[in-house]
Amino acid sequence: MTSEGWGTPPVEPISQHYIVCGGNALAHRLVLELVEHYEVPVVVLLPDRTRDHAPWIEQLPGVAAVVECAGITEEALRAVRVETARGLALVDGHDEGNIHAALGAQGCNPDIRIVLRMFNQRLGENIQHLLKNGAALSGSATAAPAFAAAALSRPNSVQVGDRFLHIAYDGDIDSGRICVVADQIDRQDLSRIRLLPDQDGDSAAFVRLAREFGDDGPIRPGGVRRPPPAAETGVEEDGTGEPEAAVGGVAAGGVAALQALPSEPPVLIGWWRRLRWRLLDTLRFFTSARLRLVLITALAAVLLAFGLLWYLNRDFGWSLYVSLLDLAGAAQPDQPAEATAGTGTGGAWQRVAQVVITFCGITFAPVATAIMVEVLGSGRRGQPRNPGAGTRDHVIVFGLGNVGTRVAAQLYGLGVPVVCVERDPQARGIAAVRALGIPVVVGDGPLEEQLRRARLKHGRALVAVSGDDATNLEAALEARHGKPGIRVVVRLFNDDFARHVYATLDNAASRSVSYLAAPAFAAALMGREVLGTLSVFRHVLLIAELRAEEGGGLVGMNRHDLEDPGGVRVIAVRPADSPGAYRWNYADRTRGLVPGDRIVVAATRSGLARINPALVGEG
């Protein structure tokens, strides 16, 4: 169906349906979420049937109708029966177009639930106030923390109250555990993983682990138990921070648990290395190579002269005082009579040191002026910077689309050295990372040369997040060729590609932006609040908070009613009489919820979808 020649609306009379506008990967995953897990009628509005993921979307079973229209106009919205729809998802196009379409849809149907994708989160928060029943989400902001955490080999976390929830595996599980979220983990066959398995109580899997390791089991330094060596269990270490269990699943220790920490997991880079990088990076930002050479030479001479003064006088305070005065050109020289009489303050070597400091001080003023002229007058801020020769232990972000820009900014905010690579000189992400002072390698040359310029041999990880699976995989393989063993994190939509990455590459991880973001968009479309998503390899675990409303289906339900093996686990309760208190692993499993109570659940995509009818009541 196309927009040309519409005499009557191309969609047959339909109501209580959901409309998805877009033909990208996120739209594809979102439609799958709605038809497979929520089992609701979906109408898709595509900009072009032949491009992007549109051909795949059109072939999905369960889609009520597919309409092609170049723009999301009021006429196009009426063609997909927006006036009778329950929800509208705008996940394609730019922020401005999505805002315009959302306001137009609200004019046609004031009660419709609207979820729109917004890259500008601040603008999205303001737009939510203009919508009667809407939410603005960012797919890249939802997925970026998982990519950044994977690059640093640390667990991704979701903040709930004053705790940070993350996934821990096997021997890393400690007393902060909340519940088992997966077992039967076999890296060679990820389809065997069971999410939120049925357990004989929350502690069953942990009791099993304790039996395996035993009182005489191996201990890590510091008293933390570690899994037995590979020779004993068949488990191989691959350096990814994600356990590799042998066939036999649980018997080999293939268990994952939801764990709580009082603070966010730390960045695995020492504070001194991060401080040194920040200082060197700031110096490179404001100076050229010649100016840096002059400054470093002068500073070295001043330090040597100061050391000589300190050695001659054995008085640190006095030596510092004289050095600062000499540096400012304000020290008083020895008079000839004092030097002849031997009553001067230090002798010949001291006078040499003072002369050196004074002359070095003279150079600092013109050099500082030259720096200001170069930065403000020549417009160096407007040019992307190549990484300097001192760049070490950095993360290379390949691709500066929405996700790559978010990942680079998040890593930079953590104090991690970052270098970006982008083939398209017009990519808008270049301006965003340039504003942060992050070095950028721009150009469409050979990938090997680009990674060399990004100082691959000195990097710690590569995050390939361009919009094309093949390009990302090529970047990962090229990085491995240039530096074997480097940590690689690859953005992949195709599950076959992802399985090959896990099966063949060590110290590697794959993530899908749409796979991480689509469940949150689908839940928001149903009116649910998803606090964040956690990854168990290629599987997604949702952390959501649900409120028991007067007349809603949650009222009167208890933990036994809500929890569903393989789907839902209640991890915390916020009673109506004390909404600020999170009661973790609420012990009373028979207490029914009352209006105003809130529950925090860990759920699979289908599990959260199954809760949904209870939230809106029967019928």
Nearby residues of 84 by Cβ (< 8 Å), 6 or more positions away = 14, 15, 16, 17, 109
Q: Average pLDDT of 325-349?
A: 59
Confidence category of residue 533, pLDDT binned at 50, 70, 90: confident
List the single range of 2-6, 290-294, 468-472, 493-497 with lowest mean pLDDT.
2-6
* Residue 4 domain flag: no
Asked whether residue 181 falls in the same domain as residue 254, the answer is yes
Distance (Å) of CA 319 to CA 342, 356, 536, 592: 19, 14, 60, 75
E strand intervals along 177-279: 177-183, 194-195, 256-261
pLDDT (tens digit, 9 = 90+) per residue, 472-511? 989 999 999 999 989 999 998 877 777 777 777 788 888 8
Distance (Å) of CA 200 to CA 66, 205, 208, 565: 46, 8, 11, 11
Q: What does the alpha-carbon distance between residue 154 and residue 331 come to, in Å, rounded to a whole number?
A: 54
Among residues 353, 381, 409, which one ends one of the domains?
381
Q: Average pLDDT of 226-232?
A: 37
Find the farthest-apart pair of alpha carbons in the chain and give their distance in angstroms, rounded.
111
Asked whether residue 89 falls in the same domain as residue 159, the answer is no
Asked whether residue 161 falls in the same domain as residue 118, the answer is no
With the C-alpha atoms ordered 359, 362, 366, 368, is the resulting torsion angle positive or negative? positive
Q: What does the alpha-carbon distance between residue 313 and residue 309 come to, in Å, rounded to a whole number?
A: 6
Type of residue found at 21: C
Asked whether residue 182 falls in the same domain as residue 78, the answer is no
Percent of all residues in the chain with a pLDDT value above 90, rounded to a whole number: 26
pLDDT score of 364: 72
Type of residue found at 584: W
Q: What does the alpha-carbon distance between residue 66 and residue 547 come to, in Å, rounded to a whole number?
A: 34
Q: What is the dihedral of CA 351, 354, 358, 361, to 10 degrees?
A: 160
List the single range of 30-34, 189-193, 615-619 with lowest mean pLDDT.
615-619
Residue 45 has pLDDT above 50, yes or no: yes
Q: Average pLDDT of 556-561?
A: 88
Residue 202 has pLDDT above 70, yes or no: no
Whether 149 and 156 have beta carbons less than 8 Å apart is answered as: yes
- Tokens (6 digits) for 516: 């991480």
Q: Which of 445, 437, 446, 314 is nearest to 383 (CA)?
A: 437
Asked whether residue 367 falls in the same domain as residue 279, the answer is yes
Q: Which of 191-200, 203-212, 235-244 has the highest mean pLDDT?
A: 191-200
Q: Average pLDDT of 364-371?
A: 70
* Residue 95 domain flag: yes
Q: Average pLDDT of 158-176?
A: 85
pLDDT score of 86: 94
Asked whether residue 257 falls in the same domain as residue 275, the answer is no
Q: Average pLDDT of 268-296?
A: 65
Confidence category of residue 612, pLDDT binned at 50, 70, 90: low
pLDDT score of 286: 59
**How many structural domains comprise the chain?**
5
Nearby residues of 73 by Cβ (< 8 Å), 6 or more positions away = 104
Q: What does the alpha-carbon distance between residue 71 and residue 77 come to, in Å, rounded to a whole number?
A: 10
pLDDT score of 345: 54
What does the DSSP assignment read for 478-509?
Answer: HHHHHSTT-EEEEE-S-HHHHHHHHHH-SSEE
Asked whether residue 414 falls in the same domain as residue 506, the answer is yes
Q: In what order do the strands lie in the sheet with 583-584?
A: 529-536, 539-547, 598-603, 568-574, 583-584
pLDDT score of 388: 67
CATH number at 90 reads 3.40.50.720
Distance (Å) of CA 149 to CA 157, 219, 351, 407, 409: 8, 26, 55, 9, 13
Whether 186 and 254 have beta carbons less than 8 Å apart is answered as: yes
List the single range of 62-71, 246-255, 258-267, 379-388 with lowest mean pLDDT.
246-255
Element counts in the chain: helices (H) and strands (E): 21, 22
Q: What does the alpha-carbon distance between residue 8 and residue 329 come to, in Å, rounded to a whole number?
A: 87
pLDDT score of 220: 38
- Block residue for tokens 């300190």: 310
Residue 305 has pLDDT above 60, yes or no: yes
List the single range of 5-14, 138-147, 269-278, 302-311 with lowest mean pLDDT.
5-14
CATH number at 579 reads 3.30.70.1450
Asked whether residue 253 falls in the same domain as residue 219, the answer is yes
Asked whether residue 160 falls in the same domain as residue 221, the answer is yes
> Of all helices (H) and strands (E), which one includes residue 209?
helix 204-213
According to DSSP, the β-strands at 583-584 and 440-442 are unpaired
Q: Which of 75-89, 251-265, 436-450, 539-553 has the highest mean pLDDT?
A: 75-89
Among residues 242, 261, 280, which one ends one of the domains?
261
Type of residue found at 188: Q
Q: Which of 263, 253, 269, 267 is nearest to 173 (CA)?
A: 253
pLDDT score of 244: 35
E strand intervals along 304-416: 395-398
List the single range of 206-215, 388-397, 604-613 with lowest mean pLDDT.
206-215
Higher pLDDT: 586 or 89? It is 89
- Which residues form the domain of 205? 155-261
Among residues 339, 358, 381, which one ends one of the domains?
381
Percent of all residues in the chain with a pLDDT value above 70, rounded to a whole number: 76
Residue 339 has pLDDT above 70, yes or no: no
- 20: Cα within 13 Å, side-chain hemisphere: 30
Q: What does the alpha-carbon distance between residue 317 and residue 246 come to, in Å, rounded to a whole number?
A: 64
Read off φ and ψ for residue 132, nearest 5 degrees: -65, -40
Mean model confidence pLDDT for the chain: 78
Confidence category of residue 2, pLDDT binned at 50, 70, 90: very low
Q: Average pLDDT of 47-55?
A: 90
- Tokens (6 digits) for 331: 């020290």
pLDDT score of 154: 82
Asked whether residue 98 falls in the same domain as residue 23, the answer is yes
Q: What does the alpha-carbon distance between residue 329 and residue 604 come to, in Å, rounded to a whole number?
A: 70
Q: Which of 535, 583, 576, 539 is nearest to 559 (CA)?
A: 583
Whether 144 and 406 have beta carbons less than 8 Å apart is answered as: yes
* Residue 266 domain flag: no
Residue 367 has pLDDT above 50, yes or no: yes
Residue 340 has pLDDT above 70, yes or no: no
Residue 108 has pLDDT above 80, yes or no: yes
pLDDT score of 195: 87
* Residue 528 domain flag: yes
Q: What does the alpha-carbon distance between residue 416 and residue 271 come to, in Å, rounded to a whole number?
A: 10
